[in-house]
Amino acid sequence: MTGFRRIDQETVGTYDFFSVVQQRWETPTGTSVDRLLVAHPGAPVIIPVENGSALCLRQFRTSVGRELLEVPAGKLDTGDDDPLAAAQRELLEETGRTAAHWQHLSSFLPSPGFCDEVMHCYLATGLSKPGRREPDGPEEAVMTEEWISLDRVPELVASGELEDAKTILGLLLASARSAP
């Protein structure tokens, strides 16, 4: 239907867990255009819920130069074929918790204008804390936990307290799932 066809692709840089790729596309009119994209392995997003509240993490983000209130998340590591297994690993690493019940809420593209990342969002319930956090980096070492009522999510989005897209979408999906 679209008539676009990729005619060339070259990785121009590889950095930690992502790459920058130069692509050339033929358009429906026969012209060609070059586009840069970030090739990302994908990420699990976890919405841990207990008694109508979700566990969030307040973490400093260098990209915006301040702390954000976010749900636990991570990235698919090399060899991760199963986003659920990655979600389970990330919940334990970031919070020291496990969940007895997991439900896939959605998979979505957070920034398709320049990145091919797919985020896989899971509701985690039946929480227990058998372990302890395993922080990955200085930001995670000082992050703090905050429980927020799912009933307050629209208010927190409207006020700007919640800014992170994966957190907003995940909490709204979890809220809708738990609504009567």
Q: Do residues 97 and 149 make contact, with C-beta atoms less than 8 angstroms apart?
A: no
Please tell me which residue in 50, 93, 139, 140 is annotated as part of the active site.
140
The 10s digit of each residue's pLDDT in 87-110 is: 999 999 999 999 999 999 999 999
Examine the domain organization and report whether 54 and 31 are in the same domain: no
* Mean pLDDT of the 154-176 span: 97
Question: Residue 77: pLDDT above 90?
Answer: no
Examine the domain organization and report whether 97 and 79 are in the same domain: yes
The 10s digit of each residue's pLDDT in 54-76 is: 999 999 999 999 999 999 999 99
Examine the domain organization and report whether 92 and 15 are in the same domain: no
Examine the domain organization and report whether 19 and 92 are in the same domain: no
94 counts as catalytic: no
Find where tokens 């790459």 sit: 19
Average pLDDT, the chain: 94
Examine the domain organization and report whether 94 and 136 are in the same domain: yes
- Cα separation, 71 vs 172, in Å, equals 12
Based on the structure, what is the number of domains in the chain?
Answer: 2
Examine the domain organization and report whether 25 and 103 are in the same domain: no
Q: Please give the model's pTM, rounded to 2 decimal places.
A: 0.91
Q: Residue 28 belongs to what domain range?
A: 5-39
Secondary structure of the chain: what % helix, strand, coil (to 5)?
25, 45, 35
